[in-house]
Amino acid sequence: MTTVAVIGCTHAGTFATTSILAEHPDWTVHVFERNGTLSFLSCGIALWVGDHVSDPKKMFYSSPAALAEAGATMHMRTDVTSVDLDARTLTYRALDEAGDPAEQTLAFDKLVVTIGVLPPGSPPAIPPIPGIDSPHVLLCKNWDHAIAIKEKAKTAKSAVVIGSGYIGAEIAEQFSVTGVKTTLVDGLDRPLANNFDKTITDQVAAAFEEHGVTLALGQKVVEFRDNDDDTVTVVTEKGEYTAEMAILAVGFLPNTDLLKGKVDMLPNGAIVVDDYMQASAPGVYAAGDSATVFYNPTGQHDYIPLATNAVRQGLLVGRNIETPTVKYMGTQATSAVQLYDLSLAASGLTRAGAERRGLTVRETSLTEDYRPDFMLTTTPVTSILTWDPETRKVKGGQFCSKADISGAANVISMAIQAGFTIDQLANVDFLFQPHFGERPVPPNLRQAGLLRRRRGHEGGGRVRRLYPPQKRNPGVMGAGERKERRRKRLSYAACSAVITYNSNRFNATWALSGNRLGITARTGCCLFLEPIYRLALILWASSASHIAPVADITESAPASRYAW
């Protein structure tokens, strides 16, 4: 009979255990977890703090009892102290006072590692900052942390949140709307800087400031100092911030020291796994917080500890632990967050993320109303499309609006995973209904409207006006004149036209400067385009492979302005 040892049981461990037992109900599965609970949805901590959770018990989707009922042998509040891959044994000890303090040994045939948070006090998950063990400094990851934060928040009037990623930003938001004076500290110069580019994070920063949050960005914490009045002072490189509590929401790294030097790892300790979740050592599998993901936008192994990644990888462990069966499809790290009235969602690479990885991408952004202008209510949507200038493949998308635009990130995720180019994305069939936002009618209107032009066969960069604005119509030019223009590939520094396509009128003005193209467009018809679709259509229609994009494309009704 096969014996499996699963180390760590949050999301990946929970799903790995259930999937192994579902595939092999006659196997023996031992689960080791340092905490007393499992499957806790830490994304609910901020919601609970803000009293948006009906019952905190519902933030769990499984339990030790449920896994035991499925057939697992559970070792809760237990620490695995060593692993010997050659002997196929591990040693462990109970952390509870009621447990056996002596180390015990378990022999196993297969090993699954899913742990991602190092024990308290162990670097680098918890930085070795002086004073970090203060009772006023709280962590923000598991159920025990959630209870401590919730209890402290009942009476606290001030808080400093360290870390402006998703969890830190959400905690800071909930504190600020419940009357807690909040300071948000981060070593990066923008909130959510690892998730969104500046066009969107500027809106996030403005929302925080509007709600009274002090942003202490571009500052690293160097010390926590307890004060006599039951407060703590967070000392950074640039200032000091005093509050009744400090929340450490700085993320975490793989807890894989048990296998260091025994399997292939990234420099940060993430275990490199193949398409079937197997590590470089036979019989060893990794998933979730301890494992790499295959990041489809780059085609490389990466470390992206998201619950969605952990769940999928955990399920694959069970399917593949005996025989490689189901191949991992990779990830785009698709995610979303709600901050105040802003909905934010993203998938794939940001421009900053590409630069950190040494990659070259183009970024095109668009801001336009969510619904058609004839609707009584609407709101702007900021969309950013990231793409490879050589292959024209879609590499990422980001969205921000007061409307729910989270589904757009899923569209981009599918486009990246399917290997779509911006040209293909521009021709995808999307619905149109005014209540649900702007959609294309017809889908290739932009192609007809945005004429392909390149600087320079005549005029040498001088400003020329081929037609006075809206007085000549390329759509009704004679065949000979159109043929001559196509043959010469004429480019003009400033041109205007009214284009008619399928009985729709499209007024466009474009300008060329060097290899940069600016377009101002005003539609005389109902041109309903979902923001990200619109971006793809514009890029596709312009045959932009020879045009160097300007960083931003923005649009405002009733006029539209684009720039590459």
Are the C-beta atoms of 11 and 116 separated by less than 8 Å? no
Q: Which of 212, 246, 19 shows the shortest CA–CA distance to 139?
A: 246
Dihedral, CA atoms, 439, 443, 448, 450, nearest 10 degrees? 50
From 11, 75, 136, 145, active-site residue: 11
First to last CA, the chain: 63
β-pairing, 504-513 vs 516-523, is antiparallel
SS3 content of the chain, % helix, strand, coil (to 5): 25, 30, 45
| Phi, psi (rounded to 5 degrees) for 92 | -150, 160
Tokens encoding 295: 């990041």
Cβ burial of 220 (10 Å; 0-12, 13-18, 19+) is: middle
Please list, residue by residue across 512-525, b when 16 or more beta carbons sit within 10 angstroms of its beta carbon and e when fewer do.
beeeebbbbbbbee
Q: Is the peptide bond before 558 cis (omega within 30 degrees of 0)?
A: yes
CB atoms within 10 A of CB 289: 28
* The dihedral sign for the CA sequence 188, 190, 193, 198: negative
From 43, 211, 301, 525, active-site residue: 43
Please list, residue by residue across 50-74, b when 16 or more beta carbons sit within 10 angstroms of its beta carbon and e when fewer do.
beebeebeebbebebebbeeebbeb
Concerning whether 43 is annotated as a catalytic residue, the answer is yes
SS3 421: strand
User: Residue 147 to residues 56, 143, 231: CA-CA distances in angstroms?
Assistant: 10, 6, 19
Concerning whether 11 is annotated as a catalytic residue, the answer is yes
User: Residue 78 to residues 10, 330, 473, 484: CA-CA distances in angstroms?
Assistant: 14, 32, 77, 79
Residues with a catalytic annotation lie at 11, 43
